[in-house]
Structure formats: structure tokens, C-alpha cells
Structure 1
Amino acid sequence: MTSNLLPEGNLESLIKKSEINRVLVLQWRDLEDPDSGGSELHSHKIAEIWATHGVEVCFRTSAVKREKKIIQRSGYTSVRSSGRFSVFVAAPIDILTSRLGKFDAVVETWNGMPFMTPLITRGPNIAFLHHQHGPLWDLALPKPFAMTGRFFERKVAPFFYKRTPIVTLSESSREEISSVLGLNSKNIHVVEPGIDESFKFSTNKSQDPLVVVAGRLSPYKQIENVVSAVEKVRSSIPNAKLEIIGNGPHEANIRTFINSLRDKSWISMKGHLPEEDLIDAYQRAWVVTSSSRSEGWGMTLTEAARCGTASIASSIPGHMNSVAHGTSGFLFKDNEEYVSHLLSLLSSRDIAINIGQAAHNWSSRFTWQKAATESFRLLASTKQS
């Protein structure tokens, strides 16, 4: 449990004063898992910076098919074994039996199903919780299992996490987690994620108005809604184009939907892109968008902002803080607003560039060094003096 005042200092001094030198991170999926997403990228960036400052970090995740069990990555270790669901039993057992060695602190990534770390560790610990998963259970599991998962997340797990400091990514997610899970908002700490320095500003927009949507292709991302919105825009701006970047379990459904359209020539499905090509897409886009039902943040939106591109996103917790409405882009509450905002940004290259410039300026506040330092500050506050 944290004290009222968090320890002061930069990351180096926090590590030295806390004497937290070995950290175990429990996480559902590894960064290399085909189904990994923003949650895995977030913890990777934090661990990478901790490791560069001398902290020995070890991840314990589920197995990655046809890949090595133990790997070294960016200065930390990742132990990848157990099945998709059995990892929630096997990983806690590893802690109880000290199978992975002794650690000074434990960090849990609570991604729907928790590892229940408050029951198995008494030392310094925190949990990363990007958002509650209420509406996503029905999309991921058959109804009986979805109901069980949602009940456990909302009614059972929170009781055990009352004294565990929670890190979330936005103020809107903090409010939602407190309201839905019943956790004390004073114990939920907002640490905004960063943006890699490789994402550079550019005004080199595509010749035709271009909308880009990027991320894991999951049902809750509602890519079909993006397609439908841009299709409506094309009745007024017939040369508008759409690029869909990413892969995932819903890809076949999206392709079927696109193939049902009378004209699909304006849509490109790019699959997973290397970072340099992703940056190029962000820079060429007039708008980057998300119609997701649930997010803890909108990492593609802030990455695009850093590249000088405005965003249009659904008005949900997470998006509400990763888009500055009227400055870095716009939030929409329904499809009528969605189409209206798309029309306003795709109607003029100059408008797109000007709002993109404002988005870039606004995004300068987000750095991974700051995110890693503030996350460790909270972890250090749990160390008993």
C-alpha cells in the first residue's frame, strides 16, 4: 500500500533508494505473441527503460507457439510457457515455489483475468490495469464463460486488490475502473504512456484524402464501422481512401465485409507493417481513426499525432485523453458525428495539415522515460521502510 506522498527523485535515484533491483512481471501474453497489442507494448517499453538503468527484469507469460521458451530482449528476460489459461495458475505457482528465483518486487499486468498477486506476494507490488473489460468478455468467450469472467473481474477480484496500487493510462480510464470495479480512485494512479522518438513530424500528405486505422484486428475495434463511415464520406469526397493496418482474429470477417461492398477499390488491407512503413502511413494520412468499443489509451492516435496527423476516435474512456477534442482531432458519440468530423478533415489538405501540426505540438508531453520513471516511483512507494 502506498503512503500519501510518493518518493521524490529521478529514476536512477528511485532505484538506488528503494533497493529494488530485481522485478518480476506477470503478463498474459509476450510481446512476440501474434495476439499481443498495446498492453504488451506498454510493459515492454517500461521494462526496457528500467533495464537500461540496471534493474534486472523478468517477464513470465504464456507460451508463444513455435518459439523459444526463454529469450533475452532489450535487456530483460522473458520466460514464456504454459497455455493461454493455465498460465494464470502456473505463474503464481512459480512465485510461490521461487522457481524463477527471488525478486524484490512484482508487477502484474491485469488484462481481464488477474493473476491474484495480492494473495501470493507480500513485498513491493503494483498492477498495470489499462481498462475494465466488461463489454469485451462477450466478444472473446462463449456466453457462459463470458458471464463468469465478467463476474470475477467485477465482483471477486477487486476485493483482493483494494490495497494494491493500480497504474492506468488515462484519467477517464481511472474514473471507469473506480466506478465499475469499485476500487478506491485514490489508489489508482494515472501514468500516461509515451511515444517513441522514431515517430517524426511530416507534412507530406498523400495526394488523395487518406484515412488510416491501425492496430490489432479484433471484434471490439469495430473496423467494419470505420469502413462504413468512410464509404458514406465518399459520396461527398469520392477520392477518399482507407488503409487498414494490422492483423488479428477478426481479419477474415473484415475481409468478408469489404468483399460485400459494391466498390472496394478504395480500401487497402496492409497487414502488419514494420515500424518505418507504419510511420510512413501515419505521415501520409490526413486522418488516423479508431471506432473501438473499449481502450485504456489510444496509442495509434498519439503516435499519429507525433507524426503530424489528426485523429478522429470514438468517445470512450482512454480515447478521451489520447485525443484533445478540437486540438489534436475530434471525438464522436455516434456515426452521424463520425461522418461529420471525417468530412471536415478530409475536405481540405490545409485543414488536415494545420490540425496535424497542433496535434504534433500537443503530443510532445508523452515520453516513455517519464512513463517508466512514474511507474517505478509508485512501485518504490510500496517498499516498506
Structure 2
Amino acid sequence: MTDIECNGARPHLLLLNWRDTSHPEGGGSERYLERMAEGLASRGYRVTMHCAAHDQAPADEWRRGVRIRRRGNRLTVYLRGLQAVLRTRPDVIVDVQNGIPFFSRLVARCPVHVLVHHVHREQWQPVLGERLGRIGWWIESRLAPRIYRGCRYLTVSLSTRDELVRLGVAPERITVIEPGVDPAPATHAEPDEDPVLAVVGRLVPHKRVEHAIDVLARLAEQWPKLRLEVVGQGWWAENLRRHAQLRGVEDRVTLHGWVEEQDKHEILARSALHLCPSVKEGWGISIMEAAGHGVPSIAYRAAGGVTDSIVHDETGLLAEDFEDLVECVATLLRDGELRATMGAAGRARARKLGWERGIAAFERAISRGYLVP
């Protein structure tokens, strides 16, 4: 099979993902998938998203033309996903591999596309410990590529594509579809006279928000009024509060938790810099959201997809290590003209990255079936 075949009916697309954006731990990767889903629904596809259940949303919901079915917990969602494949018999499946895929290829009778935001090599052991971490990495790096051999892969950055190639996925089976970014909404905020560092993301260990707190502590003497504002929620929040206390900067760190979308943009608009100290990112949608407000971002070069979302020395900076991260922040805080130039370049780039371009590319990609039988 090389194309979606649906006997004249609207093609049915089944998306298998462990979370959706309403989930307390939902983030940029979930937003990416949902924007693609909504775009395809508007183009005539019947779109069903299967994801884990949680207490902040109903089991069944329709959202912008997409049917969302929430079943199972963080573990059983995978079994329930296989049941959804068998029950609904879709025309095409997008199996989202957040470290662990749904193994839908084992039961599917239609084309399966694997969506990988980033490879989790560096995250397994810090999250699960050495033994379970090795098992997780073996599944991701050895077992999954074997099971999905012949399937097409979708990813969000050239960096992740290169990592997948190193895992044995043939380059011709991989399609890169970068995320879009919504136009930055109008805000009331202006850049604060006292410099603000912003971090936007889930509060989990691999996001390494501690590094942003450490940067603040290191620069506190040079910039006595420097502050850090963190937008996002997650189970690691209390650890971050304790870390700020240990570093003696708890009065300069604001953990906002979850905020409304407009409030997030107000915080970004008043910030001098956006930091993304994560271990690994597939792309970094928050980087482009900050760019939309003319706010440069700084991230670690080794973090993968940030090397695609940040144009080094043009829209932001890529640091080699923590000491370099501190120096990058200090450089841009000292040089307001350079910061403004990078901000203007980032804003211009963000304006070019609309979602429609990505949705069209996503549709073209999923309309093709297996590369080999």
C-alpha cells in the first residue's frame, strides 16, 4: 500500500499519543500534534486522538473537529492504544514515540507513521535509574527501529533526523516538519527596566530549570535587581523552590505554575531573555514564542533541536556548558543593542513559521504508505 485508501469515504487518521494538551504534564510536543490534527480535520480527515486519561478532562471530547479519547494511565494507555487500533480500523496511524512507541505496527493493517520529537538517550537513566533506564534506551534505540522497519518517520528538526539515522533509520524514510508558531498576540507589557529572565516549560528534571536559577545566583551581584520568572507546572516544582532557597535567590524567583495563554505572552514580552536549559528538545516552541516578542533565547548546543530553532549569533545563543551559559546571559544583559538586534531577527523569523505550511507537509507525508512491505 502506498497511499491512503478509504473507498471514497473521508480517510480516518488515528493519532496515538501518551498525553494531550489538557494533561497536567502536556507541553509543546502535544501542542504540535494537536495543531496538525486540527489542520487535517479542517481538510476533511476524520481524526481521532487516543491518549491517557486524567482528572482534568472528560474521557471523550470533540475539539476543533478532532475526537479525543482518553483511556488508561501513563502505562496502560499503550495497551488501550492497541485496542483502539483493532477496534477502529483506521486508514492511517501516527504512532507518537515519546521514548516508547505504542507498537501499533504489530496489529495495524494500514500504514503506520512514527512521530519522534527527540531521542531520549540522555533522559532515561536520570528519570528511571540505571537499570530501568538501560531497558528504556534499549527499547527506543534497538527494539523500536526493528519493529518499525519499513515505516516512515516524521520528526520536527534536522537534529532529531540525524539522531534517528544513527539509530539505523534510513534517511529516505524520515520527513522533517518543523513546528509553526502562532502570531504573537498584542500585549500590554513592555520590557522591564529591571532585567527579567524567563523560562517556559514543564517542571520536570530534564528541563533543568535549576540551571536558570544557578545563572541568576551567579549574576546576582552584577545585576542586583535581576529576576527569574518560570511559567509551567510539573511535579518538580517543590524541588525548584528548595533549590532557589539554597542558592539564596528565592525572593528573585517566581514560579507562576500554569497561566493563561495571554499571561504567558505578557511575561515573555516584559523579559530581557528567554532561557531553555533543557537536556534535550525536539525543537522548542517556547523559543519561537519568545522570538515573536523580540526576546532572544539561550540554550545548550548539545540539546538537539534547539540548534534548529535558535540561529546562533543571529536570533540567540547556543552555550557549550554551564559556564558558557552564564557568560552568554551576561553578554546579552550587558549589550542592549546586540540583544535588540537578535530580538528583531528572531521576530522576523517567527513571522515566517506559520502552522499551515507544516500542516500541508504533514498531510503529504501521511498520504504515503510503507516504503517497503
TM over 0.5: yes
Match of 2:124 in 1: 137
Aligned to 2:177: 191
Instruction: Map 1:118-129 to 2 at 5 A.
Output: 118-129=105-116
Aligned to 2:66: 76
1:246, 1:270 within 8 Å by CA — same for their partners in 2? yes
Q: Distance in 1 between matches of 2:63 and 2:113?
A: 22
Give the counterpart letter for 2:148 in structure 1: Y
User: Structure 1 residues 379, 317: CA separation in 2 closer, same or farther (over 3 Å shift)?
Assistant: same
Deviation at 1:200, TM superposition (A): 5.4
Aligned to 1:296: 282
Deviations 1:33-91 (A, max 9, x none): 11111111110111111112221111111111263211111211111011211121221
Identify if the C-alpha distance between structure 1 residues 89 and 15 changes in structure 2 by more than 3 Å, giving closer, same or farther. Answer: closer
Question: Structure 1 residues 81, 312: CA separation in 2 closer, same or farther (over 3 Å shift)?
Answer: same
Partner AA of 1:137 in structure 2? W
Which residue of the other structure, out of 202, 208, 227, is the alignment partner of 1:222?
Answer: 208
Please point out which of 256, 272, 280 is paired with 1:286: 272
Q: How does 1:118-267 map to 2 (within 5 A)?
A: 118-179=105-166, 181-199=167-185, 204-267=190-253
**Residue range with higher mean Cα deviation, 192-201 or 86-95:** 192-201
Unaligned runs of 5+ in 2: none
Q: Which runs of 5+ in 1 are unaligned?
A: 8-13
Q: How far apart are the structure 2 equivalents of 1:85 and 1:237? A: 46
Matches within 5 A, 1:45-56: 45-56=35-46
TM-score normalised to structure 2 length:
0.93
State yes or no: 1:42 paired with 2:29.
no
Question: 1:304-357 CA deviation, whole Å, 9 max, x = no partner?
Answer: 111211111111210100100011100001122111111111124443222211
**Cα deviation code 1:255-297 (max 9, x no counterpart):** 1111223343222111111110111111111110111111111
Match of residue 378, structure 1, among 356, 362, 365: 365
Q: How many residue pairs get matched?
A: 370
- Contact 1:244–1:269, Cα closer than 8 Å, also in 2: yes
Alpha-carbon separation, structure 1, partners of 2:169 and 2:350: 30
Q: 1:353 — aligned with what?
A: 340
Say whether residues 1:93 and 2:79 are aligned partners: no
Choose which of 5, 22, 35 in structure 2 pairs with 1:32.
22
1:135 aligned counterpart, secondary structure: coil
What is the Cα deviation at residue 220 of structure 1?
0.5
Local SS of the residue matching 1:224: helix
Residue 363 of structure 1 deviates from its aligned partner by 2.0
Q: Which amino acid aligns with 2:106?
A: L
Give the Cα separation in 2 of the matches to 1:281 and 1:218: 21
1:11 is matched with which residue? none
**1:158 and 1:182 in contact (8 A); partners too:** yes
| Structure 1 residue identity aligned to 2:81 | A
- The secondary structure found in structure 2 opposite 1:134 is coil
Identity rate, percent:
28
| Alignment CA distance shift 1:32-1:66 (3 Å) | closer
Range moving further from structure 2, 237-246 or 256-265: 256-265
- 1:294 is paired with a residue whose SS is coil
How far did residue 134 of structure 1 move? 1.5
On the 8 A contact 1:283/1:309 being kept in 2, the answer is: yes
Query: Normalized against structure 1, the TM-score is what?
Result: 0.90
Superimposed CA distance per residue, residues 109-136 of structure 1 (whole angstroms, 9 cap, x where no aligned partner): 1111111122222323312101111221
Aligned partner of 1:10 in structure 2 is: none
Partners of 2:271 and 2:48 lie apart in 1 by: 38
Give the root-mean-square deviation of aligned CA atoms: 2.4
Q: Which amino acid aligns with 1:225?
A: H
Distance 1:342 1:173, change over 3 A: same
Cα distance between partner residues in 1 of 2:259 and 2:335: 28
Q: For the Cα contact (< 8 Å) 2:97–2:115, is it kept in 1?
A: yes
Please give the secondary structure, in 1, of the residue aligned with 2:79.
helix
1:144 positional shift: 2.7
Q: Using a 3 Å threshold, how does the CA distance of structure 1 residues 148 and 57 change in structure 2: closer, same or farther?
A: same
Residue number in structure 2 paired with 1:269: 255
Could you tell me whether the CA contact under 8 Å between 2:214 and 2:247 is conserved in 1? no
- What is the CA–CA distance in structure 2 between the aligned matches of 1:311 and 1:377, rounded to whole Å? 32
Tell me, yes or no, if the aligned pair for 2:152 and 2:370 is still in contact at 8 Å. Answer: no
**1:328 aligns to 2:315 (yes or no):** yes
Q: CA deviation at 1:187?
A: 1.1
Q: Conserved in 2, the CA contact under 8 Å of 1:162 and 1:184?
A: no
Q: Which moved more, 1:337-346 or 1:19-28?
A: 19-28
Select the residue among 38, 50, 53 that pairs with 1:60. Answer: 50
